[in-house]
């Protein structure tokens, strides 16, 4: 079953999580995150709202998620739908891994939706939106790096002239 979940086949994902060994707030966070269906992502803030928690505890829960892939922590993103960390890491490799997992879950959804979980509404966004946001961020960072490189070159030229 775990292999099926990892491969993106969630048809059999109907079971109760045994979370008696975690705190009530953590239990609620894991329950909300487990409800995020394939093809959609949400934000730390939306998970926090549905779990009646705050974004930082959600971030800690996702970073230390003991129940992946049952609890698909990779589907939880920053407020702007950009990856902010994965597996407790914030390096380029971890973020690429997170976005790669999301890319594998594209289903062609075009609109946000909501689901009921923990007697609250959880707002969900198509994975495609997260991919677009990440691509825009990569473009922005490249433009910023190019500008900085040009500025540095101009400063070196100024120093060379003196």
Rg value, the chain, Cα: 19
Q: Indicate the angle between helix axes 127-161 and 92-103, nearest 10 degrees.
A: 150
Mind listing the pLDDT tens digit for each residue in 120-130? 999 999 999 99
Strand partners, 89: 86
pLDDT at position 144 is 87
Q: What percent of the chain shows pLDDT beyond 90?
A: 56
pLDDT at position 129 is 97
The answer to whether 127 and 37 are in contact (CB under 8 A) is no
The answer to whether 28 and 118 are in contact (CB under 8 A) is yes
Question: Taking the domains of the chain in order of start, what are their residue ranges?
Answer: 2-161
Q: Is the pLDDT of residue 94 over 70?
A: yes
Residues acting as catalytic residues? 73
**d(C-alpha 141, C-alpha 86), whole Å:** 19
pLDDT at position 30 is 93
- Between the alpha carbon of residue 111 and those of residues 11, 17, 50, 136, the distances in Å are 22, 29, 20, 19
Query: pLDDT grade, residue 67 (50/70/90)?
Result: confident
pLDDT at position 1 is 56
Answer with the residue of higher pLDDT: 65 or 141.
65
The answer to whether 80 and 132 are in contact (CB under 8 A) is no
**d(C-alpha 25, C-alpha 9), whole Å:** 28
Task: Decide: helix, strand or coil at residue 113.
Answer: strand
A 10 A CB-CB count for 128 gives 19
Give mean pLDDT, residues 139-153: 88
pLDDT at position 132 is 93
Answer with the residue of higher pLDDT: 3 or 152.
152
Architecture of the CATH domain 2-161? Orthogonal Bundle (1.10)
Q: Average per-residue pLDDT in the chain? A: 88
pTM for the full predicted model:
0.81
């Amino acid at each position: 079953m775990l292999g099926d979940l990892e491969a993106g086949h969630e048809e059999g994902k109907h079971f109760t999580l045994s979370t008696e060994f975690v705190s009530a707030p953590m239990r609620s966070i894991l329950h909300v995150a487990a409800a995020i269906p394939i093809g959609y992502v949400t934000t730390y803030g939306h998970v926090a709202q549905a779990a009646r928690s705050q974004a930082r505890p959600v971030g800690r829960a996702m970073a230390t998620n003991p129940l992946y892939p049952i609890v698909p922590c990779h589907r939880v993103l920053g407020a702007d739908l950009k990856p902010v960390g994965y597996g407790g890491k914030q390096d380029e490799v971890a973020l690429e891994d997170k976005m790669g997992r999301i890319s594998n879950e594209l289903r062609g959804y075009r609109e946000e939706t909501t689901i009921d979980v923990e007697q609250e509404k959880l707002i969900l966004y198509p994975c495609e939106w997260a991919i677009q946001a990440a691509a825009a961020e990569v473009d922005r960072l490249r433009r910023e790096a190019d500008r900085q490189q040009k500025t540095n070159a101009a400063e070196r030229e100024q120093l060379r002239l003196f």
